[in-house]
Amino acid sequence: MNLKSSLLDNQKQNIRVSLDSEQASQLLSRHLISLLPSSVHRPIVIVCIGTDRSTGDSLGPLVGTKLSERNISPFHVYGTLEEPIHAVNLKDTLKQIYRFHQNPFVIGIDACLGKMKNIGTVSIGMGPVKPGAGVNKDLPPVGDIHMTGIVNVSGFMEFFVLQNTRLYLVMKMADLIAESIIQAGQLFPKEEKTPPLFYRLGKYKA
């Protein structure tokens, strides 16, 4: 879980889209495409961070699960409800990614806490997410670009706030993020003979 959306506000090419905005998924997908590398030979890896043991922090694995159920070639997905990526296995998973994929372009997806007025908005832009910052965990940043969803308010008892976030909101935001990625995948050039991969982490369990 990323602490505050404001940590990313100064990044260039950063936009926010409200869950209730008209054509929200189209806005996000178009911006996502504009940030992706032009070379179809560079693998695009989506790292969905979080755990289903915390309602607010389940945004990432919910997105990963929804993507794994659809054809999203040419993207490769890590992190689902079944095989979440969290504080315990994040470093090892990143090592796997960079060992398996040559020069990957990584999209980091995570839940975020922010201002009350921004709850229900999705941020997408340059730069990584910083998982664990909201609960004072020292974890490596993830991603060349980020997609984060503001699921609740920051500033006080963040761990408790995450535990008491509405599942309905998190599900709706996961639907929006997943749909925008699916739309981007349909428009993005595909490299031949590169099927999408959905990775099982095996021994790593939440």
Confidence check: pLDDT of 201 > 90: no
pLDDT of residue 156: 75
Q: pLDDT tens digit string along 92-109?
A: 999 999 999 999 999 999
Q: CB neighbours of 117 closer than 8 A, spacing ≥ 6?
A: none
- Is the pLDDT at 9 greater than 90? The verdict is no
How many whole angstroms separate alpha carbon 206 and alpha carbon 190?
33
At 134 the pLDDT is: 59
Q: What is the DSSP string of 33-48?
A: HHHS-S-TTS-EEEEE
pLDDT for 64-97, tens place per residue?
999 999 877 779 999 999 999 999 999 999 999 9
**What's the chain's length in residues?**
206
Residue 205 above 90 pLDDT?
A: no
Two tokens, residue 146: 């980020």
Cα distance from N-terminal residue to C-terminal residue, the chain: 14
Domains of the chain: 2-187 (3.40.50.1450)
What is residue 136's predicted lDDT score, i.e. its pLDDT? 62
> 83, 102, 110: which is closest to 45 by C-alpha?
102
Question: Residue 137: its pLDDT value, please?
Answer: 72
pTM for the whole thing?
Answer: 0.85
